[in-house]
Structure 1
Amino acid sequence: MVSTQAIRVGVIEDHPLYRAAVARVLEEAEDIELGAVADSVARFAVCRQPAGSVVVLDLKLRGIADAAAVMEVVGMGHKVLVVSAHAGQSEVLGAISAGARGYLSKDADGEEILRAIREIASGNSYVSPTLASFVLNSTRDRNAGPKLVLSERERQVLSLVAAGERDQDIAEAMSISVRTVRSYLDRIRDKTGRRRRPELTRLAIEEGIAHPS
C-alpha cells in the first residue's frame, strides 16, 4: 500500500527506453507514487493526473514542445521538472521562465532525479549545478538592465504571437489590418532585438503576458 506521504510523479518522455528507465527509478523509490507515464503532453492530459503532482518532462516532444509544453503542464496544476538532452542557455531559461521548478540534463543519474523531485515536492527549486550559472547570470543581467517598455497594443500582439496565432489571426482578433500587425511586430523586434517567433514567445513568457491555453 502506498504511503499517504508519497510524492505523486508523472512522466512525459517520448524516447521509449529513457521513459522506461525513469519510470523504473521512480517505481523503486519508496516515497514515490508513479502516476501517468506518456509520450506527449496531449496523452498525459488524457490520463487526468491529479493536480499537484511533480511531472518529469522532456522538452523535445511531438505536438506541444519546449516552453509551450512546460506552460501547458504547469497550467494543469503540476510542478514541472525538465529532464532534457537539450540543456543550452536558451532551453534552460525558456523552461524556467515558463514555470518549470527544476531542470536537469539527461546526464543526471537516478539519484539526482529523485533528489530534484523531492526538492520540488517540498516547494523548492532544483537546477543541476552545471546549469545553475545560466539562471544566476540571467537574473543578474535582468536586474542590471533597463526595463523593457512595450505599449499596450504591442503587448497584446506579443501575447497572441505566444499563443501561436498567425498574423492574419491576430489582425482579426484585434480588428486591425495585417499590415498594422506587422508594423507592431517590427517595433517589438526593434525594441527587443528578438527576431524569430520562438524568441518572441520566450519574451512574452519573460514579460508575464503569455498564458497556458
Structure 2
Amino acid sequence: MLSVLVAASDPVRCFGIEALVAAAGIADACVFASSARMLAENMRRLDDYTAVVIDLDLKSVPAFDLIGRVRSLSPKLGVLALDLAEGADRTLRALRSGASGVVGAIATRDEMLDALRAVAAGDRFVQSSALTLLLDQISGQEPAPSHEGLSNREYQTLCLLARGMRLVDVAEELSISVKTASTYRTRLLDKLQLRSNVDLIHYALTNGVGVTAVAADRPHDSTPI
C-alpha cells in the first residue's frame, strides 16, 4: 500500500487525488500540504511516504525548488509532478529538478494510478500527451523556446514580471533581495534578447508563459522548507 503526500494549493485537486487512490485501494494514507508551514512539517518526515505529488501551480512555495528539496532530502522517494498547463518546457523543468514522473490535466484515471505506482516503485512515468510534446521538441518538429535556457529562478522571475509585478514584489514572492531579483531580470533579458518589461510580457503571451510554479497571488509565507 502507498502512503502519499500531496502538495497542492487547490483543495479540489487534493480531494480528487484522495478519492482516486481510495477508490482504487492502493493507498492507506493520503496527506495534504498546501501552506509553506505544512510543507515544512512534512519535510521532516518524508520517510513516512512512498510517493509525493507536487502541483506545479503550487502557490505557497516555488514548485521546482520543492521538487529539488524533496529529492535532496530523500533521493529514493518517488516524486510525481502535476502539470495542468501541459507545456513541454515545464515538463522538462520538472524532470530536471528531480521529478520521477509528470502527469497533466487530461491524464486518465488509469494513467494517474499507473504514475503513482511507478514513481513509488522507483520507476519513471511521463504521460503520453506530455511525452509527445517532448518528442516533438527533441526531434526538432517543435523548436525549443528561448526560455528553456533560463535557470529555474530566472524562469520564475520571468513569469512574475509577465504578470505585471514589480521587482520588490518578485523579491518578496521568491524570498530573495531586490538586488538579486534585479540580477535575474537582467540575465533573462539578456538571454531572451529583450529590452524591457513590456517586451517580457509580450514574449510571455506569445510563448504561453504565465501559468507557472511560483509563489504568486497569495499572502507571503516565509516559513522555510
Same fold at TM > 0.5: yes
Pairwise CA distance, 1:59: 1.1
Deviating more after overlay: 32-41 vs 85-94: 32-41
Alignment equivalent of 1:54, drawn from 46, 51, 55: 51
Q: Which whole-Å CA distance do the structure 2 matches of 1:124 and 1:102 have between them? A: 8
| Pick aligned residue for 1:20 from 9, 12, 15 | 15
* Alignment-derived partner of residue 152 in structure 1: none
User: Are residues 34 and 139 of structure 1, via their aligned partners in 2, closer, same or farther at CA, if it must alter by over 3 Å?
Assistant: farther
Asked if the contact 1:60–1:66 (Cα under 8 Å) also holds between the matched residues in 2, the reply is: yes
In structure 2, the residue corresponding to 1:24 is in which secondary structure? Answer: helix
Q: Distance in 2 between matches of 1:21 and 1:160?
A: 30
Q: Who is 1:155 aligned against? A: none
Question: Which amino acid is 2:91 matched to?
Answer: V
Number of residue equivalences: 168
Letter in 2 for 1:16: P
Instruction: Give the match for residue 69 of structure 1.
Output: 66
Q: Which runs of 5+ in 2 are unaligned?
A: 141-150, 156-173, 195-199, 201-208, 210-224
Deviations 1:109-137 (A, max 9, x none): 33221111111122211111111033335
Question: Structure 1 pair 27/65, CA: closer, same or farther in 2 (3 Å)?
Answer: same
| 1:204 aligned partner | none
Task: Report the equivalent of 1:132.
Answer: 131
TM-score by length of 1: 0.61
CA distance in 1, matches of 2:139, 2:37: 36
The 1:127/1:41 distance shift into structure 2, 3 A limit, reads farther
C-alpha separation in 1, matches of 2:5 and 2:193: 34
Q: Deviations over 1:41-72 (max 9, x none)?
A: 54133134433621111111222133223223
Identity, % of aligned positions: 20
Q: Secondary structure at the match of 2:128?
A: coil
Given that 1:84 and 1:105 are in contact with CA atoms closer than 8 Å, whether structure 2 keeps it comes out as yes
Q: Check conservation: 1:102, 1:126, Cα contact below 8 A.
A: yes
The correspondence of residues 95-134 of structure 1 with structure 2, limited to 5 A, is 95-134=94-133
Unaligned 5+ segments in structure 1 are 1-5, 142-157, 171-177, 200-212
User: How much has 1:160 moved relative to structure 2?
Assistant: 8.9
Larger Rg: 1
Question: Aligned partners of 2:98 and 2:10: how far apart in 1?
Answer: 23
Question: Aligned-residue CA RMSD in angstroms?
Answer: 3.7
**Aligned-partner residue type, residue 22 of structure 1:** I
Amino acid in structure 2 at the alignment position of 1:120: V
Tell me which residue corresponds to 2:38.
43
Q: Using the alignment, how far apart are the partners of 1:86 and 1:74 within structure 2?
A: 23
Residue 30 (structure 1) aligned with residue 29 (structure 2): no
Q: Is 1:93–1:134's contact at 8 Å kept on the other side of the alignment?
A: no
Q: Compute the displacement of 1:28 (Å).
A: 3.1
* TM-aligned CA deviation for residue 74 of structure 1: 2.4
Contact 1:22 1:110 (8 Å CA) reproduced: no
TM-score (norm 2): 0.58
Query: Any idea what the Cα deviations from partners look like across 1:134-161, whole Å, max 9, x if unmatched?
Result: 33355567xxxxxxxxxxxxxxxx7997
Q: Give 1:102 deviation, angstroms.
A: 0.9
What is the aligned partner in structure 2 of residue 84 from structure 1?
Answer: 83
User: Structure 2 counterpart of 1:111, which letter?
Assistant: D
